[in-house]
Amino acid sequence: MNVTRQELGNLITTKLHRAGLTEQHAEVVADVLVHADARGVHSHGAMRVEYYAERISKGGTNTEPNFTFEKTGPCSAIFDGDNGAGHVAAKQAMEEAIQMAKENGIAVVGVRRIGHSGSLSYYVEMAANEELIGLSVCQSDPMVVPYGGAEPYYGTNPIAFSAPGNNGEHIIFDMATTVQAWGKVLHARSKNAPIEEGWAVDRNGEPTTDPFKVNALLPIAGPKGYGLMMMVDILSGVLLGLPFGNKVTSMYHDLTDDRNLGQLHIVINPAFFTSVPKFKENIVRTMSDLTNVKPAPGFDQVFYPGQINTICEIESNQNGIEIVDEVYQYLISDVIHNNSFDHKDPFAK
């Protein structure tokens, strides 16, 4: 089903508002989800709405959170999300970080006690739009086997980065520290499609391409990805005094309870280090240089990191966003949720 960006945003807003979020908070969550779908990251888009709606309906998301922002130094602060919608807390925390970086050159803002906050590229793009460098990391459910291990310990623990170019053309790079994000497996399930080899293992620790048999994901590049996911967990969990590693709660464990997740925003103002016009010019040069690299056999072109998502977003804005029919039918229905997620195994259907 192909829908316009505005139609999709309206459908998501309506569903989440009916589930219990304020209209203002529902609009923010919808904006983050539409951003993901438009960039082709459907694992973090509209397919997440029913899960959010069930958690909101059952009280696991605080619909009237008391957000607080406390500066702990000239360049550091803690934003407490009071277990409200993670998207809303993360966005407001990034707004604070942007202002702090403009004034002091750098900002490190920890976001404590939030729910799932969606695609991190949304938040670092906010920094790039203000001619700032953005870096954001967050912890997630333990569903990844550590290198050499046979049971999950860390989450997919994503990292997002942005750097501003000219005329709104930015480098925006967002990745899980697993070969693929868990949401990609969910997206494959929604389409009844196989996953690629090397993404995951089954209950016996054997590689699988069946998304319904996945029991753990694999870190990127073996021990290197394992090290990165540990770094993310320390920065967004241990550093903020939150549950960490396999103590992080599953998305599906108890939808009536708080999640207490952590996220960390780092924003850097290039003006404190170099000439901003020169910096932006060199970012544009970086993008151009990379796309002009001679492609290897079997490749038509070299893309800079995140470029394919940017191209997808441009096309989506022009031609609409492709949504799985099942997800679209749910969005236009009167159903708030189908009780599909509560107390389920994290790898359950």
pLDDT at 151: 85
Active site residue 116: yes
Please give the pLDDT value at position 346: 65
And the tokens for 103?
Answer: 């004034």
- Active-site residue (options: 25, 44, 87, 116): 116
pTM reported for the whole predicted model: 0.94
Reduce the secondary structure of 276-328 to three states and give it as a string: HHHHHHHHHHHHHHHHCCCCCCCCCCCCCCCHHHHHHHHHHHHHCEECCHHHH
pLDDT of residue 148: 84
Write out residues in the chain with pLDDT < 50, as ranges.
none
pLDDT, residue 204, reads: 82
Q: What is the pLDDT of residue 190?
A: 80
Q: Is residue 329 a contact partner of residue 242, using CB atoms and an 8 Å limit?
A: no
Looking at residue 142, its pLDDT comes to: 92
Structural domains of the chain sorted by starting position, each given as residue range(s) with its CATH number in brackets: 2-276+309-332 (3.30.1370.60)
What proportion of the chain, given as a percentage, has pLDDT over 90? 85
pLDDT value at position 199?
92
pLDDT tens string 284-320: 999 999 999 999 999 999 999 999 999 999 999 999 9
pLDDT given for residue 203 in this prediction: 84
pLDDT, tens only, 214-234: 988 999 999 999 999 999 999
Tell me what pLDDT residue 265 has: 98
DSSP state of 144: B
